Structure 1
Amino acid sequence: RKKVAKYRAKFDPRVTAKYEIKALIGRGSFSRVFRVEHRSTRQPYAIKMIETRYRAGREVCESELCVLHRVRHTNIIQLMEVFETAERVYMVMELATGGELFDRIIARGSFTERDHTGVADGAGRRQPYTNAVDMWAMGVISYILLSGTMPFEDDNRMRLYRQILKGKYSFSGEPWPSVSNLAKDFVER
């Protein structure tokens, strides 16, 4: 509850008039995600509060809004409404309660190619946000979905960081011999 109270003051009054802020459920470089409840319908939603006072935050927000406004599919979280101030954008979205993707992969062991569906998560390295960030993330997520392991692993953070920067990963060991060349090519692109 303390974490929610800390952020409540940052919410635009238009948002809090319509939604009750319940819990902080996630955070990113420029955003926080909250579980909320619509005050009149009691329907649960997620609100992503994005800091737009920084250029990179604005770019991430614009890119995400562009995609969410255009995409309509039962397997993709829907954008319900948007509130905007000079410093923040509040995106009201359907609430996904399935848990973290990586936790589900670990519990299951791995996903097969047939199970695999594309997922992109915008996570950058404090550089201008571009589609390359989504494409790189798509490759990492695809690697995880296909193998049930991380493409980059090292107990030493500096070595791990170097692996990531060099793009040094391997298709050796299980399950890679049974993964198609097409799927491996997809990961590499």
Structure 2
Amino acid sequence: MTDTTAGVPRTQAQRTAATRAKLLDAAVDSLVELGYAGTSTQGIAKRAGVSRGAQLHHFPTKESLVVAAVAHLVDKRLAEILEARPEPDRALETLFDAFVGPLFDAALELWVAARTDPALHEAMIPLEQKVSDALHVGCLEIMGDRISPDAIDLSIELARGFAVSSLMRTPESDQEFRERLLPVWKALVMK
């Protein structure tokens, strides 16, 4: 049986990219649904519908797979945000929203697990740099010179902290908290 798309045989590079994408998506889904402790490479391979050998070929360790999955999601999410061309006056809301959803949930699972897992911690260092760089680029793209580099760093840390603390609030109280504190945050960091 020939692997085809619309009757045209796919190249090896296309098949490789498709397999990697399936594995990355399955890894994110597993992190969000089961957490890091409940995620296994065998379970990810099964979710992705690929063989264990194919999974090991692309990602030889659990750490390499889950970190690559979150990095993949970072790239995808940044592209979505920038394509939406948010208004500069709503840039902090956009940053706030970057810490909501599957990307944040998966990353949070990795941050917590990395605290006590030295191999994961080591694998996470380049990912955290990639996340910080992507957020910086996004903020600069949206706000330009309306915010300083230090204010961007502060804003990223605040958004991450707000996102973590929101786990303990109801959606209604989270919205009230956000509406009350966003104007204060803007006044502190925007030029």
Structure with greater strand percent: 1
Do they fold alike, i.e. is TM over 0.5? Answer: no
TM-score (norm 1): 0.28
Structure with greater helix percent: 2
